[in-house]
A = this chain, B = another copy of it.
Amino acid sequence: MAEKTGIGTNIVCQIGLVVKDIEKSKKAYADVFGLPEPDVMETNPETGKPVYRGERTWAKAKLAFFDMGQVQIELIEPVGEPSTWKEALDAQGEGFHHIAFMVKGTDDVVAYLEGKGGTLVQQGHYTGGMYSYVDMPSLHLVLELLENFNE
Contacts and interface: CB of A to CB of B under 8 A. Distances in A.
Contact of A113 (B11, B25, B29, B32): B32
A12 B15 contact: yes
A15 B69 contact: no
Nearest to A28: B138
A41 interface: no
Q: Copy number of this protein in the oligomer?
A: 2
Interface string A32-54: 11110000000000000000000
27 contacts: A2-B34, A3-B34, A3-B35, A5-B32, A5-B33, A5-B34, A7-B33, A7-B34, A10-B34, A10-B35, A10-B66, A10-B68, A10-B69, A12-B70, A12-B73, A15-B15, A28-B138, A29-B139, A31-B116, A32-B116, A32-B136, A71-B71, A93-B140, A95-B140, A95-B141, A96-B96, A96-B140
